[in-house]
């Protein structure tokens, strides 16, 4: 079966690999479509087991598109609504975000001002039934579709709340939910304003502009634009965001593709908000596409200091096209280039990290470019920051505590015992409260394998293969014993990181996204470095050759 599916994918691939004259190309297309149709018919009729035609064709489509690039995707009818939500930031619902922990569906975030908050739902509530449908009997994806619907329609939730004996029934009427592109902005130092931009859906530039204007009115003498984890979105919104800090009438980005209509130069069209205010843009490996246009353009014009990690490395433009039966396909049609001529796309997809972002870039594929003030920048994969800040990955202990839901569940317990807490920026778990958390965790199944343990296990496996295990066994067992002993104190060793995650989870129950952002600043090395840069005009000017 696998061989047949692979062959099916190759047949699809042939449709895009012909460089023959038009008449020959059309013949090849028709021939291969005919081959595919007859092959599909024969496999469906004769294969030893019953085959699912939808699954078989979907596998073939995905195999064909995967041979091109990671961003050309097929979107079947039942996924179109999710795709539309990603591109518009709007949907019909109640404004609640859920997560699956074990076999439970729990509310992890709510958007202030929408039905979920107004109707009495709380973060930490477990949803048992949705319109009489038991969530334990359906998938998380099906539950998400059930939660959403036409604006004005009703939905009933049966929830289980910590500290309340009987289930609670809550009724809501769906509204048009608009997820803000700027979930938070505010002053993070005496004269430093901060804007978090999480998406590039419609109105992203208006939201950033309003935030910048408001912060300047509050006394901001420098601005931080946080694009960390922003996957991108609408290219025109990226152009307009650059226009906030760049003059009217300059080229921000250009796109080039096979079809002449896709060769477009995008220029700033509006009067800027501020051409002089010092600006720092934060990026990391999760900053992609439109985020990289903003960071790359502002870097090319020496308008901002770029700080953080190398960005994701996605320099391709996609457009959606309608297909039969209400399906769609998202097709890569062009590459984009920053003002200096850089394309940050990496074509070698095999050397990306597990999260898809760019790893190390060989010097052989890098090409140097010069910014407006003569600084050297490179293409070849992502935007390199002007200032690199080392970030620490979550420790295995913290990852397990989060993934298992222990941090979330303890946040629920804490919130039930504390009707109010101080403002998010002033909230801090006391030493005694963290001790209570450790005692609670130790009553649970809390086990994990650290990277060193995984390597040790691999060593033992190799030793058995090479027949050296008995000789090395005492040392391996001794190391494992010491690792086991060390893990017992991980809740203390990694206290700062675990405590920070716990504080973020707790404040979300009182102050939603705003609270999470404000409490996270305390353990954010990039924020502290940014404030230092903006408070040191000489350093800022030196970095940008001003």
Is-contact 159 412, C-beta < 8 A? no
pLDDT digits (tens, 9 = 90+) for 370-406: 999 999 999 877 899 999 998 878 888 898 899 999 9
Check residue 360 and give its pLDDT.
60
Check residue 251 and give its pLDDT.
96
Residues 6+ apart with CB under 8 A from 442: none
pLDDT digits (tens, 9 = 90+) for 103-146: 899 999 999 999 999 999 999 999 999 998 999 888 888 888 88
- What DSSP string describes 198-212? --BSTTHHHHHHHHH
Has residue 6 got a pLDDT over 60?
no
- Pseudo-torsion of CA 133, 136, 140, 144, nearest 10°? 20
- What DSSP string describes 97-117? EEEEETTEEEEEEE-TTSHHH
Mean predicted confidence (pLDDT) in 44-48 = 91
Cα torsion angle, 199, 205, 207, 211, sign:
positive
Check residue 531 and give its pLDDT.
96
Mean predicted confidence (pLDDT) in 55-65 = 91
**H/E stretch holding 369:** strand 368-370
What is the number of other CB atoms lying within 10 angstroms of the CB of residue 543?
Answer: 19
What are the b/e assignments for 296-329, b being 16+ CB within 10 Å?
bbbbbbbbbbbbbbbbbbbbbbbeeeeeeeebbb
Is-contact 506 415, C-beta < 8 A? yes
CA–CA distances in Å: residue 390 to residues 48, 113, 251, 281: 55, 37, 33, 16
Q: Which fold has domain 184-391?
A: 2-enoyl-CoA Hydratase; Chain A, domain 1 (3.90.226)
Q: Say which residue the tokens 């404030």 belong to.
A: 531
Q: How confident is the model at residue 16 (pLDDT cuts 50, 70, 90)?
A: very low
What's the CA gap between 153 and 74, in Å, rounded? 30
Check residue 472 and give its pLDDT.
77
Catalytic residues: 289, 300, 314
Domain boundaries, the chain: 2-68, 90-178, 184-391, 393-546
Maximum mean pLDDT: which of 68-77, 482-491, 527-536: 527-536
- What DSSP string describes 274-285? -SSS-EEEEE-T
pLDDT digits (tens, 9 = 90+) for 263-281: 999 999 999 999 999 999 9
Intrachain domains 90-178 and 184-391 with the same fold: no
Q: How confident is the model at residue 477 (pLDDT cuts 50, 70, 90)?
A: confident
What is the rounded average pLDDT for all residues in the chain? 88
CATH superfamily of 90-178: PDZ domain (2.30.42.10)
């Amino acid at each position: 079966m696998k061989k047949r599916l692979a062959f099916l994918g190759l047949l699809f691939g042939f449709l895009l690999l012909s460089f023959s004259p038009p008449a020959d190309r059309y013949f090849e297309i028709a021939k291969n479509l005919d081959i595919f149709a007859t092959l599909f018919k024969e496999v469906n009729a004769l294969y030893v087991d019953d085959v699912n035609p939808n699954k078989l064709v979907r596998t073939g489509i995905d195999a064909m598109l995967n041979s091109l690039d990671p961003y050309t995707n097929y979107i079947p009818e039942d996924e179109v609504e999710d795709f539309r939500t990603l591109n518009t930031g709007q949907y019909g619902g109640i404004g609640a975000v859920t997560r699956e922990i074990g076999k439970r569906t729990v509310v992890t975030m709510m958007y202030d001002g929408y039905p979920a908050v107004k109707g009495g739902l709380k973060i930490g509530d477990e949803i048992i039934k949705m319109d009489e449908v038991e969530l334990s009997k359906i998938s998380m994806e099906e539950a998400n579709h059930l939660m959403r619907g036409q604006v004005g329609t009703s939905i009933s939730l049966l929830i289980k709340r910590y500290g309340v004996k009987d289930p609670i029934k809550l009724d809501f009427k769906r509204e048009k939910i608009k997820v803000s592109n700027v979930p938070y902005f505010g002053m993070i130092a005496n004269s430093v304003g901060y804007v978090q931009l999480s998406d590039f859906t419609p109105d992203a530039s208006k939201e950033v502009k309003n935030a910048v204007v408001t912060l300047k009115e509050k006394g901001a003498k420098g601005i931080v634009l946080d694009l960390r984890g922003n996957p991108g979105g609408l290219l025109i919104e990226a152009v307009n965001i650059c226009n906030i800090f760049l003059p009217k009438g300059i080229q921000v980005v250009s796109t080039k593709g096979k079809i002449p209509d896709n060769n477009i130069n995008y220029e700033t069209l509006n009067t800027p908000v501020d051409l002089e205010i010092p600006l720092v843009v934060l990026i990391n490996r999760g900053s992609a596409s439109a985020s990289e246009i903003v960071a790359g353009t502002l870097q090319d014009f020496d308008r901002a200091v770029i700080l953080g990690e190398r960005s994701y490395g996605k320099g391709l433009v996609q457009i959606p096209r309608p297909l039969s039966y209400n399906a769609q396909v998202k097709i890569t049609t062009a590459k984009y280039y920053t003002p200096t001529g850089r394309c940050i796309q990496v074509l070698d997809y095999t050397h990306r990290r597990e999260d898809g972002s760019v790893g190390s870039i060989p010097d052989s594929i890098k090409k140097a470019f010069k910014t407006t003030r003569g600084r050297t920048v490179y293409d070849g994969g992502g935007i390199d920051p002007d200032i690199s800040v080392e970030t620490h990955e979550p420790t295995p202990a913290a990852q397990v505590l989060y993934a298992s839901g222990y941090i979330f569940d303890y946040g629920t317990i804490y919130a039930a015992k504390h009707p109010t807490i101080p403002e998010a920026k002033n909230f801090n778990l006391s030493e005694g409260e963290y001790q209570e958390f450790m005692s609670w965790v130790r009553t649970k199944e809390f086990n994990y394998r650290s990277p060193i343990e995984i390597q040790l296990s691999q060593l033992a496996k190799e030793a058995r293969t090479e027949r050296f295990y008995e000789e090395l066994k005492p040392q391996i067992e001794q190391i494992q014993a010491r690792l086991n002993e060390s893990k017992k104190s991980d809740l203390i060793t990694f206290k700062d990181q675990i405590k920070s995650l716990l504080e973020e989870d707790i404040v979300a129950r009182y102050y939603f996204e705003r609270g999470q952002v404000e409490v996270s600043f305390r353990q954010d090395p990039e924020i502290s470095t940014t404030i230092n840069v903006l408070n040191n005009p000489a350093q800022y000017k030196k970095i940008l050759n001003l």
